[in-house]
Structure 1
Amino acid sequence: MTDKNRLISPGLDQDGEYSPPGPEPALYLVATPIGNLGDITDRAKKLLQQADVIACEDTRVTGKLCQAWNLKAPMIAYHEHSAARVRPQIIERIKKGEVVALVSDAGTPLVSDPGYKLVQTVIEEGLEVTALPGASAPTTALLLSGLPSDRYFFHGFLPNKSGARKNALDEIKTVPSTLIFFEGPSRLADSLADMAAVLGNRPAAVARELTKKFEEVRRGPLEELADHYRAGGNPKGEIVVVVGAPLVRDEGLSEEELDAELKKALEGASLKDAVASVSGALGLPRKQVYKRALALIKGDGG
């Protein structure tokens, strides 16, 4: 196998003379800016200038980058609808000795796009693949959220419909990490409300237009954020939602503390909604919280 340190490095020609750096045949996963064109790395720009072909989600979007950086490599569309057809063509190109760069519309490839299937195939074929790191919307939003960044879980996009979205949130509500989601402007308010209903009123942040002129990060409890975007209408731009982890500490939660949370929730919600909210906020099994809530209602909660 080729030494990855040699994939993009200076070398000597057959006569022992210095030859300019040149990438070897491989699939290169190239991160592009998520907004500010100045965030392209020097290494990424050089690779794109030397590539034989650039595989991208949308040739119109990547075409603007090519124009800005004077890139001449031809582009081929590689997205959800073309992946199965184009993937064998990319493999053949690499086998023939070509340098293939894979980019997404913005940020790092393979994050919520079909690129991982291409990487799997390249590996199975015994070909080379390497990554040129750079801008990433989830990481940028996490850094700006003000929430713990030592442990996080990236989910990507939630389902469009509320029922399916709540089911997806229910599956991850006990994950002891900061949660990161992508979301569209038209679904943001409803999605935040569903998060509050399932995860509880956790601290959160909504980041949009990251690295651009009108970058905005709004922080607050999920319910407050849902109310804000419901009242203000659909925001513009690409959106990342970051949500705090469950509130249970490593040493666990006392029964008295659970009771206090339940009593507070039951003051303004039905039993079902109160249990869902407390279960999500604390990261506790719904059955455990429901059993304790019933005991409190019956007056034998101690």
Structure 2
Amino acid sequence: MATELELKLMVQSEYLKSTSEFLDEICALSQSKTTSRQATLSLMNGYFDTENATLMQAGIALRIRAVNQQFIQTVKTRGSNRVGMHARGEWEWTIPSDQLDLSLLDEVPLPETLKDMAWSRDLVEVFRTDFERQVWLIQEQDTLMEVVCDLGKVTSPYGEDAIKELELELKAGDETGLYRFALTLAKQLPLQVSTVSKAQRGVRLKQSTIEFPNKPHSSATALELATYWYEVWLVYWEAMFFMKDDVLIQPIRHSMTQLSRCLPKEFAKRLELLDEAYQAVLYTDGDLISGFASLKETGIVMLEVGQWLNNASHDTTH
């Protein structure tokens, strides 16, 4: 098993080319022999579950990926909770065809509800993802990361959803380097933090619902409340683009207000200024969603607050 730790960033269509060019430029100017542009991949993935989403409800994603005439079976778990990041257990096996080999799941510590394997009789391909993946290997100080730009779509009998995202996966070093490089990108291009996986996109097409974090208990600490409102902010932000509904800027602004009350003054001020920028967009005559998407400050503040919350959470558990 490997533990996958990554930051996922939303990229709107109009910024995809600029993002790729900027990453190419970083590679061209780097003094590191490790930093380089890798081969572009065309990836086809089938995700399997029961019609009742038994695996997804248990926090499991099961897929087969076809790449370079090879088939790879993968299991991912939700893993540990990391604010604004994806931290997941991951198991991968090369298999001879596009047929699942469920005997391999003996290596995976499945939840109790799945151990009898009764659900396996009802498995179907519930959705698929097809996308082109541009890949860069980036060495920044002590941090080695794989940066990928994915462009394609999720399809299912219930509809389709676009895939337009960057993923920064940690290969060596610690998450500070991930945040540092993500901030370098966000200061150059309007990118925002996303917590929605491709598997969640597929499930969302069927359920037509947005997945929110669990509400904190009435005795929650300021840090727990801050974490909750931060994640609500991210969920509403991504939902605004998925649903193409600029009305969602109102719950976005509300979650930012609630979040600011739980943070140090420096971050509260940053959120206040960001809210003023949103108000300015609301008074323009153009496409509001495009206007919100063009603001670099959103991604910068999301990353800086997310890093602070992760550090603060780490300090309270050690």
Could you state the TM-score of these two structures normalised by the residue count of structure 1? 0.31
Query: Which protein has greater RCO, CA pairs closer than 8 Å, 6+ apart?
Result: 2
Q: Larger Cα Rg: Structure 1 or Structure 2?
A: 1
Could you state the TM-score of these two structures normalised by the residue count of structure 2? 0.30
